[in-house]
Chain A
Amino acid sequence: MIEKVFHGSRRYWLLLLVLGALIATGIFFYLRQTSEGLAVTGMSRSVSWGLYIAQFTFFVGVAASAVTVVLPYYLHDYKAFGKITILGEFLAVSSVIMCLLFIFVDLGQPFRILHVILYPSPTSPMFWDTVVLFIYLVLNLVIGWTVLTAEYRGTPPPSWVKPLIILSIPWAISIHTVTAFLYAGLPGRHLWLSAITAARFLASAFSSGPALLIILCRVARRYTDFDPGEKPERALGLFITYAFSAHIFFILLEVFTAFYSGIPSHRASLERLFWGWGDPASLTPFMWLSMMLAAAALFLLYTPARRRDAGLLIASIAVFASVWIEKGLGFVVGGFNPDPMEYVPAYRPTVPESFITAGVWATGLYILALLFKITAAVRARSSE
């Protein structure tokens, strides 16, 4: 099946070329980071995690969202999702690889990364996150590849795949819960120190992941022969409506606790995020942009007539962008603000940091393009 990646349209090769160029640029800047150190990024003593870890956090959510198509199909026999479960699984594979790459590029001593496995630390959520993410990657790779191979051969998938698929469902929930536990147990970071952090993560994951899936299905429909049809998209659209509503609701719950209680440590980070207009390198404009995108998305999603076709695509893009800003920037960077000494530190990603990030995105998209190419080719063949 792998040979299918070598046959594609001009547009396909152009995509791979552009992504390849981005990857090469990312590698170039990463080599600079390896030799000069993480000083090439915008991170500082106060904001010690930045774009890389924020992206890691966001894409763990996207990876977990495969469960939104796998669960209905395999547990509840929701046939409409039959054609896209594999896309969900391959999106999970690509996302987890991006997550692992983001961790790698964020490390100060990346070549010691095996210390996490050689010297296991059961009290550390980061240790457990590494373990569960790796297993999730293997799970989805094995499931996706096996099911696709079966389709390629025109036979039913082997029976041992089914328990793996069932396992991947709670496993998807666990990867994002453990990632939330990275943040939710730290006594000094009050933006993160909340029971609802894990629930927020899951709600935002189950909005942004399916939103991306819809966008990818539209791209596939436009540029390839693969057409999953409207029914799965409509179902996903409905699901996104509920998940995204929960996500916004949870944010409002945090706002209530912070401001009604009036406790300075509870309020401070949210205040700086949403009312920090004068702060150095303020995130406030981005947070309000995120909220406006959320409002637009909810408006489109709540009217059935607009939750389809162009409306659904715009809503998906708005959901994805809104969650990306809030989670892929606001949540992680905002947690360091104010810092333990009550300063309001500035953080802006630098050019090298941005290109390394773009290089990792491009790697994920590249792998996704290859996997989707194989899937589309297998589907086209089996439908002959």
Chain B
Amino acid sequence: MEMTRLDFLKKAWRTGLVLFGGASFEVVSGSALLAADGKPSGRRMAMAIDIRACVKDAGCVKCISACHRGHNVPVIPDAKRAITWIWKDTIDRAMPGVLDPYSGADLRGANTLLLCNQCANPPCVRVCPTGATWKREDGIVMMDQHRCIGCRYCMAACPYGSRSFNWGDPRRYLDKGSVARDYPTRTKGTVEKCEFCAERVDRGLGPLCAGACAEKAILFGDLNAPGSAVRKALAGRIALRRKPELGTDPSVYYLL
């Protein structure tokens, strides 16, 4: 069937409206998008990590393995180019100044889990020039791998070092026979990070790391729901967040 000029113009106009409309919708509504039914969902997904439970097994990386396997994160031998959605490091480095020679001595040198803090006031979202990263209405800071131009401004903006860049083709380090087939890989030139397993949250499941932890050290839930696992864990305990003075309002709590 031939397309008349009028048909073409109609289609081009509609496409333009979709693209432009989508863009201006995002500009107008800022970085918080509405759920499919148009109502804000009112949840704030958060995580509480029980440090003392986490440090029990010093060499344990079950959470990292589960996450990276489930999301096809490549294992890159060069540490400078590593891609880490979640990783472990010492509490001293994660929260400088919290431990000193006289207090918390038993936690010196102990490792804990680090990941994107899914900040409620995320600097990375502010600086992204293309809207490739944004904050969902449930608080999860998302990545659009189709939109990212790889400028790495978000990496400069993140005060926690949570973001990784694909310096080369990640598929070089992924065995095609054993990748998770229900999740895409990424390609060179884009930034990636933990997304609180948003695809699992949308199906009512918890994140892979929390499920993999043998010590049940990772708790996940809705900070705005008083009965959630996270809120119960935070009640009556001291919990720290990384660099709170920066105003980013992180959603990852470290329970002491």
Direct contact of A and B (CB under 8 A): yes
Spell out A's residues near B (CB within 8 Å). 36-39, 43-46, 48-49, 103, 106-110, 112-113, 115-116, 118-127, 130, 182, 186-189, 264, 335-336, 339-343, 345
Q: How far is the CB of A280 from chain B (nearest CB, A)?
A: 11
The answer, among B89, B148, B156, for a CB contact under 8 Å with A49, is: B156
- In the complex formed, the residue of A with least CB distance to B154 is A48
With contacts A120-B23, A187-B123 taken as known, whether A45 is within 8 angstroms of B130 at the C-beta atoms is: no
With contacts A37-B169, A39-B168 taken as known, whether A340 is within 8 angstroms of B161 at the C-beta atoms is: yes
With contacts A116-B130, A116-B149 taken as known, whether A37 is within 8 angstroms of B168 at the C-beta atoms is: yes
How far is it, in angstroms, between the C-alpha of A118 and the C-alpha of B125 when the chains are bound? 17
A342: which B residues are within 8 A, CB to CB?
92-93, 96
Residue interface bits B79-108, CB-to-A below 8 A is 1, else 0: 011111000010011101100000000000
> Do the beta carbons of B167 and A187 come within 8 Å of each other?
no
Tell me which of B44-52, B212-220, B242-250 binds A. Answer: B242-250
A-B contact pairs, 27 of them (CB 8 A): A38-B167, A38-B188, A44-B81, A45-B80, A45-B82, A45-B161, A46-B80, A49-B152, A107-B150, A108-B149, A109-B148, A109-B149, A109-B189, A112-B147, A112-B150, A115-B130, A124-B126, A126-B129, A186-B127, A187-B246, A188-B123, A188-B159, A189-B156, A189-B159, A340-B161, A342-B96, A343-B93
A339: which B residues are within 8 A, CB to CB?
161
Within 8 A of A (CB), among B99-147: 114, 123, 125-132, 147
A46: which B residues are within 8 A, CB to CB?
80, 161
Besides A116-B149, A123-B125, A124-B153, 20 new A-B residue pairs in contact (Cβ under 8 A), listed by A number: A37-B166, A37-B189, A39-B168, A43-B167, A45-B165, A113-B149, A115-B129, A115-B130, A116-B130, A118-B19, A121-B128, A121-B130, A124-B126, A186-B156, A188-B243, A188-B246, A189-B156, A264-B96, A335-B156, A342-B96
> Do the beta carbons of B131 and A108 come within 8 Å of each other?
no
> Do the beta carbons of A119 and B157 come within 8 Å of each other?
no
How far is it, in angstroms, between the C-alpha of A107 and the C-alpha of B247 when the chains are bound? 29
With contacts A38-B165, A49-B156, A118-B19 taken as known, whether A126 is within 8 angstroms of B93 at the C-beta atoms is: no
Q: Is the interface of B mostly helix, strand, loop or mixed?
A: loop
With contacts A44-B80, A188-B246 taken as known, whether A340 is within 8 angstroms of B158 at the C-beta atoms is: yes
- Which of B92, B130, B160, B188 has its CB near the most chain A CB atoms (within 10 A)? B130
How far is it, in angstroms, between the C-alpha of A36 and the C-alpha of B171 when the chains are bound? 12
> Do the beta carbons of A45 and B26 come within 8 Å of each other?
no
The answer, among A108, A125, A187, for a CB contact under 8 Å with B247, is: A187
How far is it, in angstroms, between the C-alpha of A132 and the C-alpha of B214 when the chains are bound? 53
How far is it, in angstroms, between the C-alpha of A106 and the C-alpha of B164 when the chains are bound? 16
Q: How far is the CB of B189 from chain A (nearest CB, A)?
A: 3
> Do the beta carbons of B94 and A341 come within 8 Å of each other?
yes
Q: Is the interface of A mostly helix, strand, loop or mixed?
A: loop
**Is residue B210 contacting chain A, with contact meaning CB distance below 8 A?**
no
> Do the beta carbons of B123 and A186 come within 8 Å of each other?
yes
> Do the beta carbons of B152 and A37 come within 8 Å of each other?
no
> Do the beta carbons of B127 and A125 come within 8 Å of each other?
yes
> Do the beta carbons of A122 and B156 come within 8 Å of each other?
no
Q: How far is the CB of B145 from chain A (nearest CB, A)?
A: 10
With contacts A124-B126, A130-B129, A187-B246 taken as known, whether A108 is within 8 angstroms of B165 at the C-beta atoms is: yes
B152: which A residues are within 8 A, CB to CB?
48-49, 106, 108
A345: which B residues are within 8 A, CB to CB?
80
> Do the beta carbons of A108 and B190 come within 8 Å of each other?
yes
> Do the beta carbons of A126 and B159 come within 8 Å of each other?
no
The answer, among B157, B158, B164, B168, for a CB contact under 8 Å with A36, is: B168
How far is it, in angstroms, between the C-alpha of A113 and the C-alpha of B165 when the chains are bound? 17
> Do the beta carbons of B247 and A121 come within 8 Å of each other?
no
Q: How far is the CB of A339 from chain B (nearest CB, A)?
A: 6
> Do the beta carbons of A109 and B167 come within 8 Å of each other?
no
> Do the beta carbons of A119 and B130 come within 8 Å of each other?
yes
> Do the beta carbons of B167 and A39 come within 8 Å of each other?
yes
B94: which A residues are within 8 A, CB to CB?
341
How far is it, in angstroms, between the C-alpha of A43 and the C-alpha of B150 when the chains are bound? 13
> Do the beta carbons of A48 and B160 come within 8 Å of each other?
no
Q: How far is the CB of A262 from chain B (nearest CB, A)?
A: 13
How far is it, in angstroms, between the C-alpha of A119 and the C-alpha of B31 when the chains are bound? 13
How far is it, in angstroms, between the C-alpha of A175 and the C-alpha of B83 when the chains are bound? 34
**Is residue B54 contacting chain A, with contact meaning CB distance below 8 A?**
no
How far is it, in angstroms, between the C-alpha of A43 and the C-alpha of B166 when the chains are bound? 11
Q: How far is the CB of B138 from chain A (nearest CB, A)?
A: 21
> Do the beta carbons of B161 and A121 come within 8 Å of each other?
no
With contacts A43-B167, A48-B152, A341-B161 taken as known, whether A120 is within 8 angstroms of B123 at the C-beta atoms is: no
B147: which A residues are within 8 A, CB to CB?
112, 115, 119
A38: which B residues are within 8 A, CB to CB?
150, 165, 167-168, 188-189
How far is it, in angstroms, between the C-alpha of A108 and the C-alpha of B26 when the chains are bound? 24
> Do the beta carbons of A119 and B26 come within 8 Å of each other?
yes
